[in-house]
Each structure stands twice: as C-alpha cells, then as structure tokens.
C-alpha cells in the first residue's frame, strides 16, 4: 500500500474509534496517545489526522476515494469492524457507521456481513470455557504460572498473523485469562468488571487494537482476511513482543490482585502492571521461537473456535 492508502485506512479506523459517541473519554484519550506513539513510524501527520476526524474535516467519501484497489477497500472495512468490536458488541451508532462505510467503499453486503459476523463472534465469546473443555476452577501456583505463560505465548503468536481479524482475538483471550484467574480465587467475574480491570491497569481495548494493527499496517505487514495485501510471518517477528508482554503482565497482576482480596487501588494497580510489563518485555526474546512455531499452526479461520475454547 502506498502512503495515500495507508492514510485513508488510518482515517477510517479513527472514524470507527470515535463513531460511538458514548465511548469513555479515557479510551478516546488513549486513541489520541496511540496516534502519537505511531507517529514516529510514518511520515503521515497522525495528530493532525485525529483532529481532522474529531472536527469532522475528514469524510467517508474522501477516505474511500483514496482507496483505489479492492484489497485496500476490503482491508479498511475489516479494520473498521475490528475497531468497533474491540470493546464489545457494536452499538447502533457503530453499526450505522459501518453500513455507511460499506456503501462508500462499494463492498458486497453479504461479504461484509460475513466478516462482521466473524468479528462479533470473537468479541462476544463467553468468558467461561465451552462445556466440552475441562478446566479446573482452582489452580496451583505452578498451574497458574503455566496458564499465564501459555496465554502470553499464544497471544504473541496470534500477533504474528498478518490477517486483520487476528489481532482482535488477543483482547478476548486476555479477558478469559483474567476471568480464569479470578475464578481460581473465588471471584465470578463479569465482562464489565474485567474491562474495568484492564482499563485501570492501562490496557485500553480499542486503543490496543489500533496500536497493534496500526503498527502492522504502517509496516506493510497487514492484509485482509481474503488475502491480497501480503505480509510474511518471518517479517513480523519483531511485532509480537507487545501482546506477549501485556498478556504476561496482566496475568501476574491479576493473580496478585485477586489473591490479595482486590485491595490494590488504581495507582498501585497501574504501577504493578508497568513494573511487570518491563519484566515481561525482557522475557519476550526467550519465548519468540515458541511464538513463531505456534503461529505457523494458526490461521484466521481458526480464531473464532480458539477464542471460544480458550
């Protein structure tokens, strides 16, 4: 993709991020921070792009006109769907935005609907494992250490996949890990509690997807689920550290939090997460070969069942 097309896709993604007017201001601020984080990786003025979207100086017809290939238009739509679904099921405002985007991009309604259904299945996957999966309600310290590490490796592997849908699976798997840890300490957590826990620790839902997918897009590593915009697995090895580290840190902070009776305040929780995140980043290189090996066994088609059973 050329710079014009990448700018158009990012514009569409930012529009999607702000399409739901009820989105928490904390998450909106994190989206702006992500734009600043990614600014050093592109010549595109992302801060100005955010302002253009917020002030409605950018429009869907303008962005659509900059996407000249079927693959780039499909990718823009897929990323927008994932942005809308990153923090849960689509709101009416988000569904209206996505339909307007589909029309502007000239995409087939059935094909667009099929992808949206896949994304919704991932976003709405139950926290508890499927009934056919045996999972102990309590874990020993060793079992919990293994569960956290395995979840971190799996999310690192998923981040290596080039398909737009893959990055979206990371958040539900992080939520399921927190759910399992809480349950092991006697807490039956719901989705709202876990979202608040992640946000308090510093893991935004929409912003996390935007950062990970945006980095792949700017590096030329992202492609639509249908193919076309190719990215090699080997080229993406450097991008897996973020998901590995954040998942590993979340798991260990969750264990500390629930084992201690949920007594950490917001500042303590954020500091604990940041400290553990630094430790996890140092471990990423050790487990990279395992992430790469696992990534070779995964594809976008398996993500829905993987999240439902994880």
The full set of domain ranges for the chain reads 3-122, 126-309
Q: Is 99 exposed, middle or buried (0-12, 13-18, 19+ CB in 10 A)?
A: middle
DSSP letter string over 62-80?
A: HHHHT--SHHHHHHHHHHH
Q: Give SS3 for 139.
A: coil
- Domain covering 3-122 in this structure, CATH number: 1.10.3680
Q: Which conformational region is residue 225 in: left (phi greater than 0), alpha (psi within -120 to 50 degrees), or beta?
A: alpha
Residues 6+ apart with CB under 8 A from 299: 161, 163
CA-based end-to-end distance of the chain: 34
The DSSP element (H or E) to which 173 belongs, if any, is: helix 170-184
pLDDT at 137: 61
Residues 104, 93: Cα–Cα separation, whole Å: 17
pLDDT in tens, the chain (310 residues): 788 888 899 899 989 988 887 655 666 677 777 777 776 667 788 888 888 888 889 999 999 999 998 988 999 999 999 888 887 778 889 999 999 999 999 999 999 999 898 888 888 888 876 543 444 468 888 999 999 999 999 999 988 887 778 888 888 999 999 999 999 999 989 988 998 899 888 887 777 788 878 877 877 767 666 544 334 444 444 455 688 999 999 999 999 999 999 888 889 999 999 999 999 999 988 999 999 898 888 876 677 777 877 5
Question: Long-range contacts made by residues 124-132, C-beta under 8 angstroms, separation at least 24?
Answer: 124/88, 124/89, 125/172, 125/176, 125/304, 125/307, 125/308, 126/308, 127/175, 127/176, 127/179, 127/189, 127/190, 127/191, 127/194, 128/179, 129/176, 129/309, 129/310, 130/308, 130/309, 132/309
Backbone angles phi, psi at 261, to 5 degrees: 80, 25
* pTM, full prediction: 0.83
């Amino acid at each position: 993709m050329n710079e014009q097309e990448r700018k158009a896709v990012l514009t569409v993604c930012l529009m999607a991020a702000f399409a739901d007017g009820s989105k928490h201001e904390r998450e909106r601020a994190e989206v702006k921070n992500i734009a600043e984080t990614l600014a050093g990786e592109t010549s595109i003025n992302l801060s100005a792009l955010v302002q253009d979207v917020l002030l409605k100086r950018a429009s869907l017809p303008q962005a659509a006109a900059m996407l000249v290939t079927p693959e780039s238009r499909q990718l823009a739509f897929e990323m927008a769907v994932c942005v809308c679904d990153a923090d849960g099921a689509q709101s009416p405002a988000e569904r209206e935005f996505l339909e307007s985007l589909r029309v502007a991009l000239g995409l087939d309604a059935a094909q667009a609907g099929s992808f949206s259904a896949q994304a919704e299945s991932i976003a709405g996957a139950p926290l508890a494992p499927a009934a056919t999966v045996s999972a102990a309600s309590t874990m020993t310290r060793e079992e919990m250490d293994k569960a956290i590490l395995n979840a971190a490796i799996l999310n690192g592997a998923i981040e290596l996949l080039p398909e737009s849908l893959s990055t979206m699976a990371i958040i539900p798997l992080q939520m399921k890990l927190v759910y399992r840890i809480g349950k092991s300490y006697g807490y039956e957590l719901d989705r709202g509690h876990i979202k608040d826990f992640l946000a308090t620790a510093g893991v935004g839902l929409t912003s996390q997807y935007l950062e990970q997918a945006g980095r792949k897009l700017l590096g030329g590593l992202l492609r639509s689920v249908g193919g076309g915009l190719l990215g090699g697995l080997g080229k993406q090895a450097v991008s897996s550290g973020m998901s590995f580290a954040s998942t590993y840190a979340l798991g260990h902070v969750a264990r500390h939090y629930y084992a201690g009776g949920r007594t950490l305040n917001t500042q303590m929780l954020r500091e604990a997460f940041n400290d553990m995140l630094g430790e996890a980043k140092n471990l990423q290189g050790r487990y990279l070969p395992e992430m790469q090996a696992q990534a070779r066994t995964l594809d976008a088609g398996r993500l829905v069942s993987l999240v439902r059973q994880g």
